[in-house]
Structure 1
Amino acid sequence: MSFAVGEIVGHRYWVVSWGGNLFGPHSWRHWHPEEPMSGGNLSRGGHAGVFALKTKDLVNSFLASASARRELARMWRSPPLLPSADQRSAVALAIGTISMWGTIWEHESGFRAQFGRVRTIDEWLAGDEFEQRQTEGVLLQRLRETYGCASSQVVNS
């Protein structure tokens, strides 16, 4: 027996780093704008997969913690991770949604999938501790164009 299942939409955030690229904030994996993110071999168990949370409120709950944002900023701006001076650009956080498909596991607060792709980029958090939220602006628009997506407001209207 075979059947088709659609995509699941999950909520997440990324670090926006050098050259306007999205990276997993804790895995440091690059989300390529033209390719789906692969979660690796899920049959091995462990922590393989593309992760997302069930709601935007869960993302906001984590990002409401100044100490969590401060730690991310410190980690991503530390010397071992900094590229050469000619490659540096603003480091910020982006909040958005992803489409998830393939084998998907549901967890208490989120999902883990075989594949995922950026669906929307809704907000940009800039500043020394990622404390300045923006929903519009040139850098956010450029990031949306790079990843071929819009904001949730546009997608859901």
Structure 2
Amino acid sequence: MNYVLAFAGSNSSISINYKLVKYTSSLISGTEVRLRNMAKYPFPMYSYDVEKENGYSNSLVEFKNEISNAKGLIIAVSEHNSYPSAYFKNTMDWLSRLDSKFLVDKKILLMSTSTGGRGAIGALEVAEKMITRFQGTVVETFSLPRYGDNFDENTGITNADLAKIHSEKVSSFVKAIS
């Protein structure tokens, strides 16, 4: 448990939440951060029939083990119609079938971003409830509104006030996992 696992709850190849997670990961020093691009994890839509017929994929078991062995998680959830993406929910469904306590004792920095002014806050709130149900501990949350106005892929968060808040949240998370 010497690493932090970081990923976005999106399977989009152009996910802005993945870009936020990638940037956030780059700010952490002194601890290995394993960044996972979930676009490379094509989990089928969960159903009992699929589970019964096919069991659990190797990639799902490996991902669950990575979560179990991490000392903390950085997750950014994307928002679709005020809720986390179906992909994120589906991933949580599969993981919980492997182990309903797959997040027990995990300290989590939970984030979201969107192109709108609310910064995917609806998805963030729902995801936080979901994570705590599986016994994860959300140490900090951060929402970045208006991604296109407040984020640059080369420099990160461009709004000074939001950058300061983000930095404080990252520092608090790092302290919690130390």
TM-score of Structure 1 vs Structure 2, range by shorter chain:
under 0.3
More helix as a share of residues: 2
**TM-score normalised by the chain length of structure 2:** 0.24
**When you count strand as a share of all residues, which structure comes out higher?**
1
TM-score, length-scaled by structure 1: 0.26
Which structure carries more relative contact order (alpha carbon 8 Å, separation 6+)?
Answer: 1
